[in-house]
A and B are shown apart, each in its own frame.
Chain A
């Protein structure tokens, strides 16, 4: 079953087409990797789907419900969670408090919200850091915090912007394993990633963007050998 359908989604900022006629769909329970060079429009696509930026044209359907142009809080309430490229923890609150804020969406009672937040914090392997302020955590831990906080709203679809961006090499495998662990819970994931090897390893499908346009969509192996994708990443070599 399709959890998300995007049709001809477009957004311009002045004369620049950040996203132009983007179309794709996502199967429930799968991972869609989004790749593209800097400025390809990946984060803008996330903002359009989650309501943080109003699209100019197109359709966005979540379980057949049109969510085009709806406010971000309403979209998240439908079950669409997200993390941010530039991390946005509630810095002066503890990890537990950060995740509890998300858990309150499903749990009205403070004790149950706290228990649920603790279970999710345990899931992302940060239980010992639960009383640490978010600002005291490392980048990798803050990435886990954002995942935990987004998970706390019990999303059906989770959009993760550069899970492994800005962290050291030793931290990356743990974060990749966490994404795989997340998938096993049944949540559908769309993830932006610069590391092609990781994208190929975790994704069921890959969407490649360049200069705001979709240049390829398909299984990782197809994308890996797609000429346009190779050109976009490596540039076309002019033999003449």
Chain B
């Protein structure tokens, strides 16, 4: 065999740097250990929000970053997850651990129903269509008496902490661990997806749909698959959020702001990169939470102004997001080039 070919074939499939793997393992252990050092309620809440937003942004990253479809109505799947869990718990006493999956299932069905007609649209048209669909969910739930209409649902509180009901009143630490585990599982699964045959094919669809078609890739089907996966990642965050705050209403869980924030986080961190949403969430969520504390209410919208400013700077100077500050050879072994 040709020696250059033999060398190429002998290279490891995954080019991940071992040092990076060690650092990630260390960080994961640290994240599990943090609450043991007596973190106060605010910091627990801050980390919970970071984990939640990182997963939500990762969900958006799958449809927008991997398959190239800009969805502006992704908050709909967050709301579906929230309502599925709360409604089935309140009406039938079904544990959220089961109804989380129901929320994922319903989101997947809606993603298929929305995706089949909408994903025929491309670029701006798809974005506008999803924006309107996201808003329409909010309007429908505001008028749907079965799920509390505009007042929403007030989840029946358990008298004591309950893992079965996923309610913890004495400490936020259990919530911290639940969100952390979901965050890690999601990150790992999306990382696997990015390196799978499906991941390669989704990126082909994103980069050039015509070239993808010439390589036996059914572009429409792959867009729908990405949309369904994305919806199924988003829904559990809605479910967990509902159990975390125990009161949901259409303005809160179907708010257009949810769809915009996941976009901002992903673009800031680095779209199309599994690390992007984590970096974006770790920066934007603290800005939001601190401005809420110091400026009251919803942060006097200062957080949104800051988001906009940061995003403008990133778009001008670092269009590939903050991840691009990290040299590629730090994340990966040096390649023969």
Binding site for B on A (CB under 8 A): 50-52, 71-73, 76-77, 81-82, 84, 88-93, 97, 100-102, 104-105, 108, 110-111, 113-115, 118-119, 121-122, 127-128, 130-132, 149-150, 152-153
Contact = CB atoms under 8 A, between A and B. Distances in A.
Contacts of A84: 210-211, 214
Contacts of B44: none
Chain B interface residue count: which class? 20 to 34
Given A110-B196, A118-B8, A127-B8, A93 B207 contact: yes
Interface of B: 2, 4-5, 8-9, 13, 195-197, 200-201, 203-204, 207-208, 210-219, 272, 335-337
Contact of B200 (A77, A92, A101): A101
B335 A131 contact: yes
Contacts of B204: 90, 93, 101
B214 A81 contact: yes
B200 A104 contact: yes
B337 A92 contact: no
Contacts of B215: 76, 101-102, 105, 149-150, 152-153
Contact of A130 (B8, B196, B216, B218): B8
Given A114-B13, A130-B8, A77 B216 contact: yes
B103 to A, nearest CB: 32
A147 to B, nearest CB: 12
Contacts of A122: 2, 4-5, 8
A130 B11 CA distance: 12
A63 to B, nearest CB: 17
A97 B208 CA distance: 14
Contacts of B13: 110-111, 114
Contacts of B195: 110
A73 B335 CA distance: 33
Contacts of B335: 131
A52 B200 contact: no
Contact of A90 (B4, B5, B203, B336): B203
A92 B5 contact: no
Contacts of A130: 8
Contacts of B8: 118, 121-122, 127, 130
Nearest to A99: B215
23 contacts: A71-B218, A72-B213, A72-B214, A76-B216, A77-B216, A81-B214, A84-B211, A84-B214, A88-B210, A88-B211, A89-B208, A90-B207, A110-B13, A114-B13, A118-B5, A118-B9, A119-B5, A122-B2, A127-B4, A127-B8, A132-B337, A149-B215, A150-B215
